Chains A and B, each alone.
Chain A
Amino acid sequence: MKDFNVLGSRAPRVDGPDKVTGRALYADDLNKAGQLYSAILHSPHAHALIKKIDTSRAAALPGVRDVITSREAGTTPYGVSPARYDETIFCHDRVRYIGDEVAAVAADSAEIAREAIGLIDVEYEVLPAVLSSDEAMADDAPLLHERYKNNVCAQVHHNFGDVDAARQKAAVIKTATFRSKMQDGAFIEPQSALAHVDLHGRLTLESSTQAPHYVQRTIAMALGVPLHKVRVKKPYVGGGFGPKASCATYELVACLHALRTGRPVKINLSREEVFLHSRARHEFKHDMTFGVGADGEFLFLEHECLLDGGAYASFGIATVYYANSLLGGPYRLRNIKYDGYRTVSNRPASGAQRGHGAVHARALFEMLVDEAAAELGVDPVELRLKNVMETGETTVNELNMSSLGMRECIEAVRDSSDWTAKRGTKRTPGKGIGAACGFFVSGAGYPIYRSTTYHCTIVTKVDEVGGGVAVLSGAAEIGQGCDTMMAMITAEVLGIDVADVRVKSGDSDLAVDLGAYSSRTTLMTGHATREAAEDVKRQMLEALAKVLECDAAALDFVDGYLAVSDQSIDVSALREEYLKEHMGFTDNPSGGPLTFREASRIAFLAKGALVGRGKYKPPVLGGSYKGAAVGTSPAFGCSAQIAEVDVDLDTGCVKVNKITGAHDCGFAINRTQVEAQMQGSMSMGLGECLFEEVKFDGEGKVLNPNLADYKIPTSMDMPELEAIIVESHEPNGPFGAKEVGEGGIMPTIPAILNAIHDACGVRITELPVTPERIIEGLKAQEETR
């Protein structure tokens, strides 16, 4: 394998110094002189008609500069998927959940804005509410949206292969139902934005978003502003995980106030409002029947999924597809029947969250694999190894595994965790070990709106003064490390230090990028970054070759110098020119080969602006069946984990002691960051498995909209996390790289659940794993003895 200077190293993050010194500016750190502060009025009812809104008292409060409702905002529908634009900036005829947005105020201070919100009088006519999929689909259920019959906003029916025929051959058939609750992204930075309009009518929104491009489009559409007059840029963002991947009301509100008042407008969501906005993990119910042959071959899967996503569709149409499409691999499974239903209900809307729809489906499937292994009397890891796909195979739903290191991942965790020995030796009651696998897309094959657009472009500009390079990108660095990835790729191609590459990203003015979702950035934006660097490199070498009157193939940039393969080529005239230009400078080169600094300067003098261009869009992917597009990707990352747990048989508490994980990321551009993403996934998976649920009362009010009662893991809950990197060298990825951001969450929940079963025999079929469920499970076991 080729040796790289920078790629594959543990280069420090380019944004590390800013973040560790407090210099990194996040949305709420941004301020503009004269800014107004906005606050939003939320519905107190889960479902109600709006009879009347009187804003006069609010408008009369001194310090209030703007009051808006749907009358001012308009009712242009928007949302995530054009086929499901079911939101308006403010509710105009009815509210659909406690927290739904009804009005907003911009005032001289945040306090005045809040006070004004309390002075807006709304007359509601309360309607019956539905708070679950079952309630929503009942015959007499009130309809939230006229167009969603039975409150089902999306459904999928797939039938691959022949499940009935496969059922006849099955020696072992396992059936189970699995439930999970609505969960939250719980990023530490609540959303915040600053909107301002310049005197040419150009609107700029600086927002804590992971998708500036989609936000730009939605703002333009919903507010009726031409797209080129809208700029969206993200500052540093304190985590996204999916809920920040679409335009949100707070962003539209800030923009509308700014347009109407001509003043900059700041808006923050409180932590409670973060929960009310949600756009986070759906609530799932999965019913699966899984059949395995006598020889352990996976034969068929029958899968019904009911997911509830609250009041609006958001990403839900994709979610209900992902819930099954990512079961097509990583094992050979040729017969799959799937029926999925995504309901709306009077609760905060769910969207896409790390692993998007596939996480709990994977959890149930991996538990059924273990159940089948137990009945067959075989090691569950060996059963998985028997069925894994290999590189080059295609799933029954037409997802091609252009690279797949699934076998290597499973073997790596099996060996590193000492799996066989731990399962074989005399077992301590309450101590268990469990394994699971999963995989995920490296970027969705299609943009969310119907377009042939490139998914990303990159403009790479070499400094006219020579020596430095700026990479201009629309990509969204939200902590996953893509700025560093772009800097490293550029540095590698140009043979320079990462320190000499500046990445400017997350700004719709610079380039287009669909954003940080579906784990696309390394593969797609990385590809475009490489292309742009190679483009500008070629231009520079050609310009230098012309000056040197030689063949461009004899020149290269290596280790910060211009490498010349033909000793007869004399570069001294170029150095002379550089030195002549830099008389008086004290850091001029004195001997040795021409530096990159000199060479790039000379290239500029010869050619003018040195600008490289890169772009990427995936090839046309997907089969001919309905919904084939969802789940398609140019590549798939995969992951295996083994969890070791202690179940306290007295209290029912579960402590995870270790997670050993292996992830195939194709090629680790930055080894530290790949490990970091793996560990972050494990942490989110552990939290969602053991602690996390958004709780509602009987009226639809969120009972735990805070980080005390919505519990994410603390440092004392997280165990040692071993992260093993597997590299399968993805042909469709830049330098062989593909995703790591979301594939790594897939095995965590089932590994823990399988370990719990191993520890105490309790099979958990409802998340989160509370001590209560463990105790109930243990009691049930005793009763059947």
Chain B
Amino acid sequence: MKSATGASKRVITLNVNGLDREVMVEARTLLIDALREGLGLTGTKLGCGEGDCGACTVLVDGVPVNSCLVLAAEAVGSQILTIEGVATGNDLHPLQQAFIDKGAIQCGFCTPGMVLTSLAFLKEHPHPAEDEVRRAISGNLCRCTGYQKIVEAVLDAAERMGGDS
């Protein structure tokens, strides 16, 4: 059993984007802060801190969650995927390329969360209908795009990926 007392800091190991990384946390350290501050992975964004906007979305064992509401300690032993882990080096994932090609990016702040939620969704639903896409991303708010081109990008990516995620 793992325990951590309030004021103490300890080193935990998080598997992030395929690599085991060590980071110093308190019991109360949130996953988003362990990623952004502990590991310097600033691609995950803080939009509200209360689970209302989805900007902080990461995948934990393939499931998209608000990292502002997950304790870092809870994520030990899981595989975490952040936006930094989606491309391979400078080679974009087809989903990322679709976002670019379809004009689904404006200010870009919701983009990391949108991409991760969509990535997880397409893995489970490789041939989605439009309303399914809208439902899947309904926890990721965007103020810039009106979602139209984001939905088009996800549908386009589904075609490009041809059923293999």
Q: Which residues of A contact B (CB under 8 A)?
A: 10, 12-13, 15-26, 28-29, 185-190, 236-239, 241, 270-271, 478-481, 672-673, 675-677, 679-684, 706-708, 712-716, 718, 720-721, 723
5 residue pairs A–B, Cβ–Cβ below 8 Å: A12-B101, A237-B107, A239-B106, A672-B102, A706-B50
Q: How far is the CB of A639 from chain B (nearest CB, A)?
A: 14
User: What residues of chain A lie closer than 8 Å to B84, measured between beta carbons?
Assistant: 21-22
Q: Is the CB of B144 within 8 A of A22?
A: no
Q: How far is the CB of B14 from chain A (nearest CB, A)?
A: 17
User: What residues of chain A lie closer than 8 Å to B133, measured between beta carbons?
Assistant: 715
**Complex Cα–Cα for A672 and B36 (A):** 32
What per-residue 1/0 map shows which CB atoms of B89-113 lie under 8 Å from chain A?
A: 0001000100111110111111110
| CB-contact partner of B107 in A188, A707, A723, under 8 A | A188
Q: How far is the CB of B69 from chain A (nearest CB, A)?
A: 13
Q: Is the CB of A20 within 8 A of B96?
A: yes
Q: Is the CB of B144 within 8 A of A479?
A: yes
**Complex Cα–Cα for A363 and B4 (A):** 57
Given the contacts A15-B108, A479-B108, A189 and B146 also touching, CB distance less than 8 Å: no
**Complex Cα–Cα for A682 and B109 (A):** 19
Given the contacts A25-B42, A26-B45, A707-B48, A239 and B143 also touching, CB distance less than 8 Å: yes
Q: How far is the CB of B89 from chain A (nearest CB, A)?
A: 10
Which chain B residue lies CB-closest to A480? Answer: B106
| B149 part of interface (Cβ distance < 8 Å) | yes
User: What residues of chain A lie closer than 8 Å to B146, measured between beta carbons?
Assistant: 679-683, 713, 718, 721
Q: Is the CB of B43 within 8 A of A271?
A: no
**Complex Cα–Cα for A683 and B42 (A):** 28
| CB-contact partner of B142 in A25, A185, A188, A708, under 8 A | A188
| B127 part of interface (Cβ distance < 8 Å) | no
Q: Is the CB of B100 within 8 A of A683?
A: no
| B145 part of interface (Cβ distance < 8 Å) | yes
**Complex Cα–Cα for A708 and B48 (A):** 10
Q: Is the CB of B96 within 8 A of A21?
A: yes
Given the contacts A16-B105, A675-B103, A680-B106, A23 and B47 also touching, CB distance less than 8 Å: no
Q: How far is the CB of B154 from chain A (nearest CB, A)?
A: 10
Counted as pairs of residues, one from A and one from B, with CB atoms less than 8 Å apart, the total is 171
Q: Is the CB of B145 within 8 A of A236?
A: no
Q: Is the CB of B52 within 8 A of A707?
A: yes
Q: Interface majority SS on B: helix, strand, loop or mixed?
A: loop
Q: Is the CB of A676 within 8 A of B106?
A: yes
Which chain B residue lies CB-closest to A30? Answer: B42
Q: Which residues of B contact A (CB under 8 A)?
A: 36, 41-50, 52-53, 55, 82-84, 86-87, 92, 96, 99-103, 105-112, 115, 133-135, 137-151
**Complex Cα–Cα for A381 and B40 (A):** 55
**Complex Cα–Cα for A24 and B112 (A):** 10
Q: Is the CB of A720 within 8 A of B148?
A: yes
Given the contacts A480-B106, A679-B149, A21 and B92 also touching, CB distance less than 8 Å: yes
User: What residues of chain A lie closer than 8 Å to B111, measured between beta carbons?
Assistant: 19-20
Q: Is the CB of B96 within 8 A of A707?
A: no
| CB-contact partner of B148 in A22, A187, A480, A721, under 8 A | A721
Q: How far is the CB of B27 from chain A (nearest CB, A)?
A: 14
Q: How far is the CB of B55 from chain A (nearest CB, A)?
A: 5
Q: How far is the CB of A14 from chain B (nearest CB, A)?
A: 10
Q: Is the CB of B46 within 8 A of A28?
A: yes
Q: How far is the CB of A234 from chain B (nearest CB, A)?
A: 12
| CB-contact partner of B55 in A15, A188, A684, under 8 A | A188
Q: Is the CB of A718 within 8 A of B148?
A: yes
Given the contacts A20-B96, A26-B109, A189-B107, A680 and B86 also touching, CB distance less than 8 Å: no
Other than A24-B108, A271-B47, A715-B138, give 16 A-B pairs with Cβ distance below 8 A.
A20-B100, A21-B92, A26-B109, A28-B46, A188-B109, A188-B143, A238-B108, A239-B109, A479-B106, A479-B144, A673-B103, A675-B149, A682-B146, A683-B143, A683-B145, A718-B146
**Complex Cα–Cα for A17 and B89 (A):** 12
User: What residues of chain A lie closer than 8 Å to B151, measured between beta carbons?
Assistant: 715
Q: How far is the CB of A206 from chain B (nearest CB, A)?
A: 14
User: What residues of chain B lie closer than 8 Å to A723, measured between beta carbons?
Assistant: 148
Q: Is the CB of B47 within 8 A of A481?
A: no
CB-CB nearest 4 A-B residue pairs: A22-B43, A479-B107, A238-B109, A19-B108
User: What residues of chain A lie closer than 8 Å to B42, measured between beta carbons?
Assistant: 22, 25-26, 28-29
